[in-house]
Structure 1
Amino acid sequence: MSGTPTLVVIGAGPRGTGLIERIAANAPALYGDRPLTIHLVDPYPPGGGRIWRHDQSPLLWMNSMAEDVTMFTDDTVRQEGPTRPGPALHTWAAGVRDGRFDLPDGAGTDPGLLGEIKALEGTDFPSRRLQSVYLRWVYEQAVAALPENITVHWHRGSALRVTGPREGRQQVWLAGRGTPLPADAVAVTIGHLEAEPEPEHLRLADFADRHGLLHLPPDFTADTDLTAVPAGEPVVVRGFGLAFVDLMVLLTEGRGGRYEDGEYVPSGREPVLHVGSRRGVPYHSKIGYTWDGERPPLPRFLGPERTGALLAADRPVDFRRDVWPHVDKELGHAHYHRLFTAHPGRTTGDWADFEAKYAAADPAGPELAALVAAAVPDPADRLDLEALDHPLDGVRHPSFDALQDGLRGYITADLERRHDPGHSPDLAVFLGLLSVYGQLIRLGDLGDLGGWWHGFFSHLASGPPGPRLHQLLALSRAGVVRFLGAGMTVETDERRGLFLAGSATVPGQRTAARTLIEARLPDPTLERTRSPLLRELYEDGAAATATGLLSVAPDSGRILGRDGRPHPRRFALGPFTTARAGGAFTRPRTGGPAFRQNDATARTALTLLRDLPRTAG
């Protein structure tokens, strides 16, 4: 057996690509000229992986503007390794147009993609297929940047399990391969997970089977078979986030409908989508203007010192008690800094005086609210996170028909606000959310943090492009989408054999349907994952949090055992871990916690591999 150190990276999507890029950046100084073999394992081509593969509907967009997507580090990333700048998505497309960058093999034969690249501007929302080409290009650049002593081999398949002693060489077993890949270190970067149905979904599926109905559990919308969803019939949709937006597109334009002069022209093959959720509203629109002027000083109240102190405390960290007050104060500080500096006519007094009093105030005390009320006369200019999280609390309508105009008004107002620079404190809060997420990653999974916080962040910061909400309004006016409201409930009617959907917004009313779609991603939980690899890691002693995330050391990405010890040779990065990062991709010059994680894991793995004894096998 060869004595060449070997790293197996399981998952060839953006996270696996990012790890290879960081290995290329760090290897010259940290690893030297010793040979290294990297085996990359994924059933989908490297770069995009499964979620960002080329083979999906061209109707599906990214959820970010092209100028807000980069795979390259800059000097805002707090990392030990060297910065290696590279183009964001829109500047890459411009480089393809002017001949500075070559397209990956095969991409130049797709006229639709070529047309999109030719027309792409920074404020456009590209198709996911275009992002697939960018990611493939980034992967090829990362591999080309590796020193000559490091080679990469892609294995088109799935990893089933990892075996081997803590202090010895690992074995990675692949589907359809009789012998394992030997590995001195293993990094799991498989991205989003499929999951077994939750108990409630099993009950609903059983009800559907007995009555000849259709129930579609949480899944990746692009991978869901929607052919059985009937045309012209009411369909109950539970979930109003990004999975719903994809569903909306595939069941309308994907079935031949089109938009003309801002109105929707049906094909006649659409269902009628009755959509509701806990909040009862879609995620807030992406902000449609760019930043100018002074940026808020971030972090201010939740930075490395604060999170370090929480980690060093002699009691368990409670998110609501110990963390949330500082999150609230951090976001408020970003909001009011922008209001005072960019819109001073809507404030009273001096920013320096306000900031000093704001800093001294108890995060949960009444003096903070009194300070804000005195300095910001218009309540519409004050930050109210509770109201943002529960926009329909107390709102009641006598019927679902009465609700429709109200929700269209809410969405219209949100679109206007999120595209009006006069409300630029909203963008400051967005930057604050990114900063906060980067700090919370250090704390791991804190109960509420895994569920409520991620949903709250997504609601405020990861909403759909504005054009999608304009399409939603058009679909509502056309009667193809109908709103159900907040506090959505789903019941089953055994006598009639129907699903019944209601909400707190329209008390006492129910909508009946023969189809129920759960429009959300499966929870990233080890307990119900369909990944045999993660199940085996868990059974082999890997720790999981109360919310089902794989526990990893925040400073290295090493997988933690249930005894608290980090595994010396096993690493993991991605949304299924306690180091999950907010958003799929990083905006340029925002610090990129995912970049920091990739760098730390690459450096730790390279140090391990460098220090192996120079002996065979």
Structure 2
Amino acid sequence: MGKSKSIRTAIIGAGPRGTSVLERLLAHAAAHAAAHSGPASLHIDVIDPYPAGPGHVWQPGQSRLYLMNTQSFYPTVIPEDARLAPPVAGTTFDRWRARQQREPMPALTLDERSELAALGSRDFPSRALYGRYLRCTLDELTAKLPDGVTVSFHETTAVSVRPSRDGTPGTPGDGAPWDGSQGDGTPGGTTPSTGTFDVGLAGGASLTVDSVVLALGHLASRLNPEQRELQASAAQLGLSYFPPAVPADVDWAAIPAGEPVLVRGMGLNFFDAMGQLTEGRGGKFIDAGTRLEYQPSGQEPLIIAASRRGTPYRAKAALAGYYPASVTLRYLTEAALERFAATGIRPGFDHDLWPLLHRDTLWAYYSTLVRSQPAAVPDASDFLAALEEALRPHAHSAANWEAAVESVLAVHVGPRHRLDLPGLASPLAGRSFGSRAELDAAVVEYLLDDARRSALGEEDPVKMAIGALHHGRAVLKTAVADGGITDESWVAGLRGWFESFVEGLASGPPALRAEQLAALARAGVVSFAGPDPRFSVDRRTGRFTAVSPWVNGPPVAAKTMVEALAPANRVSANDSPLMEQLLADGMVRPRLMMTAEGAPVQATGLDVAPHPYRPVAANGSVTDGLYVLGLQLSATQWGTAIAAEALQPGGATYASGQRTLRDADEIAQAILGH
């Protein structure tokens, strides 16, 4: 084999995804060195204004009140797939946690040591501690660089990526494949680029590289028209408006104590806001034996929580693993996906995939009901046999299988024990309230019931129905990726209704947060606006207002409003100089999808060609050497915001669990010409 060529690549974005690409490059470089005589020359430029490893979101210095939405056993940036090149260093977060408990690094702070001392495998770590893991992993990787590999970190912003003007080789890379072989390592068969890219940095410097990886993560985003109007009105009237943001970037101290603050959104960012404005201001939660109580510090504002449902996301169940062990999918399985493929069917979401997952959800609920509450269904064996027959795919036409199930339920299960899926997602639907106090009491009742169910774990039928949806979401990620469903199904079904439905049920906070919110409401620190609120600015009184059609009484009003939402993940609405340049130059374009009426709609993510993912230019061409990983793939992959999933011994394993790490591996192989 001839002498290997030198390669220079740039990774833009140094958070978990950028770190994964770096890790895979090192893994393949080490494997190459072991298999061939002499090291190859590889230089990696990592560009991010935030410290590499944690990147923007996972900074180790942020408040420890910001918790991860997954337990310690879940996340990893190191792949565990024996088919991939072995890592040169690093491990999963949970193994790192256990190692730090046994032999803590001297660099750990007192806060980190204190958190680690009490943190178990099933506990929810702080984002700050996960950031420390990411930084530690990066340090371990760079301490074991294979021969011939160098890495430079640039703590600045990349503002442009353009093909080099003269097309001449860069320094040190010359754009040639890793071993002098031809081909770009992808099944698509695009022509390998022999040119280079100029990466412009803030301040005027530039780098010339052979390839670029866009691992951009969360981008700043322009406000939508309603948000712009609220912001402009706030500026005119002297009000305080906090637009969508990464919670750690918000100046929570600017929200005055003792005054109402209107908080829109009751998803995960809401609980971050709640924590900062209560415990973050010196308040304390006290275990009063039968329930949690809140002791105010006197520095809290009055939080008025508002969302379309009127209630927060449902809390996670107490489980031994990421998925409930008692739930096994019977209908929406990977084998079912293979059957669609074998018959040449490109499934529709509402017509083909959801009916299968709906069956799994019903079976999970009623089989758990029979097991955990035997008195609810006296003739359990007859009932389950009849239900199984009614659920059998293709035993009935798509038009009447649900009617067959209803007939079985009418015979065997009383109304009180029936599953109401729409009601789970919208627990206040169909109700009206004579006062805000009546509404607050109803929400507290919902929160305590939800926390009680979470504590029951695998013994609660509702949480196991949600558990089936959680299992199914992992299968759906594989089913819908890379054009696996029709555009109209993606737009109208998957993103149109199912995404918000399943997020509200299966992506909630730890159950402790539900108990804390109930305690805050009882203490008078939190109140609720009600379902379907309308937001506006009352110029006469100089206040933000929110009014629910289902709650009697005057609108809620406040001089401060917080959008408890992440910035919109939509490339066409980004506020990033780099993404705007790429779009303006036609190097990338948003993906267009066709609705059922034949109208094109702009999707959230970039148009890309697999595999590995490379952006499609405005003219339809694909530029080799430019790669995309992560959130900007949201029009090709579903659920890209979730971290890579560590393997759970004895637990369910899905192909989508480490998809991001395999994507990073494909990019690394393409860069190196493998």
The two structures have a TM-score, normalised by structure 2, of 0.80
Counterpart of 2:422, as a letter, is E
Contact 2:210 2:625 in 1 (8 A): yes
Counterpart of 2:613, as a letter, is G
Matched, 1:499 2:519: no
Q: Which moved more, 1:335-344 or 1:6-15?
A: 335-344
The structural deviation recorded for 1:80 is 5.4
2:647 corresponding residue in structure 1: 588
The structural deviation recorded for 1:414 is 0.7
Matched, 1:173 2:173: no
Counterpart of 2:62, as a letter, is Q
1:212 corresponding residue in structure 2: 238
2:183 corresponding residue in structure 1: none
Contact 2:615 2:628 in 1 (8 A): yes
The structural deviation recorded for 1:429 is 3.2
1:287 corresponding residue in structure 2: 317
Counterpart of 2:669, as a letter, is L
Matched, 1:397 2:433: yes
Matched, 1:117 2:116: yes
Structure 1 gaps, min length 5 = 612-617
In 2, Cα distance between the equivalents of 1:432 and 1:235? Answer: 38
Q: 1:520 aligns with which of 560, 565, 575?
A: 565
The structural deviation recorded for 1:565 is 4.1
Matched, 1:460 2:460: no
The structural deviation recorded for 1:89 is 2.8
The structural deviation recorded for 1:129 is 1.5
Counterpart of 1:548, as a letter, is T
Q: Which moved more, 1:380-389 or 1:216-225?
A: 380-389
Map 1:213-292 → 2, pairs under 5 A: 213-261=239-287, 262-290=292-320
Counterpart of 2:467, as a letter, is L
Matched, 1:532 2:577: yes
The structural deviation recorded for 1:209 is 1.7
The structural deviation recorded for 1:469 is 1.6
**Secondary structure of the structure 2 residue equivalent to 1:39:** strand
1:127 corresponding residue in structure 2: 126
Counterpart of 1:368, as a letter, is E
Structure with higher RCO (Cα < 8 A, 6+ apart): 1
**Secondary structure of the structure 1 residue equivalent to 2:9:** strand
**Secondary structure of the structure 1 residue equivalent to 2:213:** strand
In 2, Cα distance between the equivalents of 1:535 and 1:223? Answer: 22
Q: Which moved more, 1:182-191 or 1:473-482?
A: 182-191
The structural deviation recorded for 1:372 is 6.0
The structural deviation recorded for 1:62 is 1.7
The structural deviation recorded for 1:557 is 1.9
Contact 1:236 1:273 in 2 (8 A): yes
Matched, 1:548 2:604: yes
Q: Which moved more, 1:187-196 or 1:432-441?
A: 432-441
Contact 1:10 1:41 in 2 (8 A): yes
Contact 1:26 1:603 in 2 (8 A): no
The two structures have a TM-score, normalised by structure 1, of 0.87
In 1, Cα distance between the equivalents of 2:258 and 2:353? Answer: 48
Counterpart of 1:568, as a letter, is D
Map 1:308-327 → 2, pairs under 5 A: 313=346, 319-321=349-351, 323-327=353-357
Change (3 A) 1:266 1:363: farther
Map 1:27-426 → 2, pairs under 5 A: 27-28=29-30, 33-74=39-80, 81-82=84-85, 87-99=91-103, 103=105, 107-108=107-108, 110-144=109-143, 147-164=146-163, 167=193, 168-178=195-205, 180-261=206-287, 262-290=292-320, 296-297=328-329, 300-301=332-333, 304-305=337-338, 313=346, 319-321=349-351, 323-329=353-359, 331-332=361-362, 346=377, 347-349=380-382, 354-355=387-388, 357-361=390-394, 364-371=398-405, 374=408, 377=413, 383-420=419-456, 421-423=458-460, 425=464, 426=466
- CA displacement 1:261-286 (0-9 Å, x = unmatched): 33212122211011111111111112
Q: Which moved more, 1:322-331 or 1:482-491?
A: 322-331
Counterpart of 2:391, as a letter, is Y
2:673 corresponding residue in structure 1: 610
Counterpart of 2:78, as a letter, is F
- CA displacement 1:390-433 (0-9 Å, x = unmatched): 22210111111111111100111111112213116243432222
Change (3 A) 1:186 1:603: same
Q: Which moved more, 1:336-345 or 1:122-131?
A: 336-345
Matched, 1:600 2:632: no
Change (3 A) 1:153 1:308: farther
**Secondary structure of the structure 1 residue equivalent to 2:481:** helix
Q: Which moved more, 1:544-553 or 1:391-400?
A: 544-553
Q: Which moved more, 1:63-72 or 1:53-62?
A: 63-72
Matched, 1:22 2:68: no
2:598 corresponding residue in structure 1: none
In 2, Cα distance between the equivalents of 1:141 and 1:299? Answer: 43
Change (3 A) 1:341 1:190: farther
Q: How many residues align?
A: 598
- CA displacement 1:523-557 (0-9 Å, x = unmatched): 11122212111111222321213243223335422
Change (3 A) 1:12 1:506: same
Structure 2 gaps, min length 5 = 165-191, 592-601
The structural deviation recorded for 1:73 is 3.0
2:185 corresponding residue in structure 1: none
1:614 corresponding residue in structure 2: none
Q: Which moved more, 1:284-293 or 1:21-30?
A: 21-30
The structural deviation recorded for 1:363 is 8.2
In 2, Cα distance between the equivalents of 1:386 and 1:209? Answer: 40
2:614 corresponding residue in structure 1: 558
In 1, Cα distance between the equivalents of 2:355 and 2:90? Answer: 37
Q: Which moved more, 1:331-340 or 1:273-282?
A: 331-340
Counterpart of 1:4, as a letter, is S
Say which one has the larger Rg: 2
Change (3 A) 1:566 1:383: farther
